[in-house]
Structure 1
Amino acid sequence: METILPYALLCFTSFFTLTNPLGTMPVFLTMTKGLDESERSHIVKRATIISFLILIGFTFCGQFLFKFFGISTNGFRIAAGIIILKIGYDMLQARYTNTKLKDEEIKAYANDISITPLSIPMLCGPGAIANGIILMDDADSWALKATLISVIAIVYILTYIILRLSTRLVKVIGETGNNVMMRLMGLILMVIAVECFVGGVKPILLEIIHNPSL
């Protein structure tokens, strides 16, 4: 239990911040402008389910991909740390998303925005996928693996609730409140990214020190 609780907290904070449903709200409302609540509900439900399945798939297949492409875990940690650091920095600047859509593009997406761009890359981007693979690699017991899956499910359930209530939440939180929350989450994410980066660099440096001929 002493190991599971810190691990679960790390999983939740990192995935919730990377999924960033609060930052996705304004974009979601823009893309679904003119749609009724039932249509919005269908889009959100489908997007969260697809995001969950994709993330779980990459999380479990991560080790296979490492072996198939000959990628070391430490090298992936370094790359993941850089990706997550960039996302955290953007959030610290209160940037909602890099996805910018024109009116005609929004109309084109209207029939299936649940897959692109809502699910990929907004709710399940490269940062979340990299984070899932790294955390699965750290899970050295079935209890931790079950914790990881449970936390991912909880995060997407919360994401579904937040996006479903987006019209109300935007009015309650306001733009200023949303920016403050995003900056705080961005700072937390940058700390997690540094830990991930150092976790990848340290073993490589130690190996070089102990084996200078490499």
Structure 2
Amino acid sequence: MSIALFTQAFVTLLVIFDPLAAIPVFLTLTRHQSPAARRRTARVSVLVAAGIVAVFAVLGNQLLDALGISLQALQVAGGALLALIALDLLKADCARNRADAESGAVAFVPLGTPMLAGPGAIAATMLYMEKADDGAEIAAVALAMAAALLVTWLTLRFSAGIGRLLKDNGLNLVTRVMGLLGAAIAVQLVAGALQHWLRWGVA
């Protein structure tokens, strides 16, 4: 197995998943849940992200080609979705309503996708799978993805302790900061796609 490829893919995916930045969002969205429900939400959200990333790792290029969608179009769509979520965070309105939080719907959207399995994670996974030349390197990328998701799950699983340290005021502050950063990332995603189209044309 390629240790270098594993390390590179693991670090890249972990940075993109950014579980520490997801903590304020997770705690806000699950603030009305019981501890058991919050743990379940953490588990389901990571499983959703794992499923989406795994599907695109194996069938990403085929799916996009079959639908006639370019990777840049995926970036723009993901950036738009992320911008909407960032707007909710800036307004401290991301908890939505208690019924949705208690039902665990937030584990699918926005936590599982696009917060964790967003266009960046999908694109990075597809890129590393294309780099893999043999079975050993494919295994290295798969293990890196699994390790990054495991770290993300552990971070969300034990996020309640961090929430107790932050308190409500601290949580609201960090949530708004994350909203600002999320908006910036959304702009960068769209700008990257536009730059590619201006240079190479719209495929």
Q: CA deviation at 1:19?
A: 7.8
Q: Is the 8 A contact 2:28 2:95 kept in 1?
A: no
2:170 partner letter: I
Gaps of 5+ in 1: 33-39, 209-214
Distance in 2 of aligned mates of 1:7 and 1:54: 20
Match of 1:53 among 47, 54, 57: 47
Question: For 1:49-82, what per-residue CA distance to the aligned partner results, in whole angstroms no more than 9, with x for missing partners?
Answer: 222222222222224365367135xx34223312
Three-state SS of the structure 2 residue aligned to 1:54 is helix
Relative distance call for 1:54 and 1:176 in structure 2 (3 A) is closer
Q: Does 1:28 align with 2:18?
A: no
**Helix, strand or coil for the counterpart of 2:90?**
coil
C-alpha contact 1:21 1:162 (8 A) present in aligned 2: yes
State the alpha-carbon separation in 1 of the partners of residues 143 and 188 from structure 2.
25
In the superposition, relative to structure 1, how do residues 152 and 95 fare at CA in structure 2: closer, same or farther (>3 Å)? farther
**Superposed displacement of residue 158, structure 1:** 0.9
CA distance in 2, matches of 1:19, 1:122: 14
The structure that is helix-richer by fraction is 2
Give the superposition deviation at 1:191.
3.0
Corresponding residue number in structure 1 for 2:112: 124
Separation of aligned partners in 2, 1:9 and 1:88: 25
- AA aligned opposite 2:13: C
TM score, norm. by length of structure 1: 0.65
Instruction: Report what 1:138 is aligned to.
Output: 127
Deviation at 1:124, TM superposition (A): 0.6
Aligned equivalents of 2:19, 2:185: Cα separation in 1: 8
Q: Distance in 2 between matches of 1:67 and 1:82?
A: 19
Gaps of 5+ in 2: 133-137
Cα distance, 1:84–1:20 mapped onto 2, change above 3 Å? farther
Contact preservation (8 Å) 1:17, 1:186:
no
Q: Displacement of 1:113 after TM fit?
A: 2.5
Alignment RMSD, CA only? 3.7
- Within a 5 Å distance, the mapping from 1:163-174 to structure 2 comes to 163=160, 165-171=162-168, 173-174=170-171
Secondary structure of the 2:157 match is helix
Which structure: larger Rg? 1
In the aligned structure 2, how far is the partner of 1:160 from the partner of 1:134?
26
Percent identity between matched residues is: 10
Q: Which deviates more, 60-69 or 47-56?
A: 60-69
Which deviates more from structure 2 when the two are superposed, residues 87-96 or residues 121-130?
87-96
TM-score, scaled relative to structure 2: 0.68
Amino acid in structure 2 at the alignment position of 1:91: A
- Residue correspondences, number: 188
Q: Could you tell me which residue of structure 2 aligns to residue 212 of structure 1?
A: none
Task: Answer whether contact 1:11 1:148 (CA < 8 A) is retained.
Answer: yes
Distance 1:43 1:49 in 2: 10
